[in-house]
Amino acid sequence: MTKLKLSEILDEKPVKVTVELPAKLHRDLVTYSEILSRENSQSPTEPSRLIVPMLERFIATDRGFAKARRAAPPDPADGQSLGSLPRREPSSGQG
């Protein structure tokens, strides 16, 4: 079985975001969706639904971002540092 960074895509209420993707990236998302659907015995997910879990996974595993987030100075507007903001866990625990 292929070791993908994402597991199945959870069915959550979508939020509309408009973004332009290079054609090659879109083709890669389509291919990724097809592989992911085979791995999880599901029908293919709309490629746009992969973007959020991929970004969450990217941010969750970026050590430089985590370090900078912890070291962020307090925000005078709310008295918190970026590092003290609640973290949202990625939708997938695998990877």
Quick check: 12 pLDDT over 70?
yes
Q: What is the pLDDT of residues 28-49, one digit of tens each?
A: 999 999 999 999 888 888 988 8
The answer to whether residue 93 sits within a structural domain is no
What is the domain count for the chain?
1
In a domain, 4, yes or no: no
Q: For residue 23, what are its two tokens?
A: 């054609």
| pLDDT given at position 31 | 94
Instruction: Find the domain containing 53 and state its range.
Output: 44-73
Note whether residue 62 is domain-resident.
yes
pTM over 0.85, yes/no: no
The pLDDT of residue 29 is: 94
pLDDT tens digits, 63-82 = 888 888 888 876 665 555 55
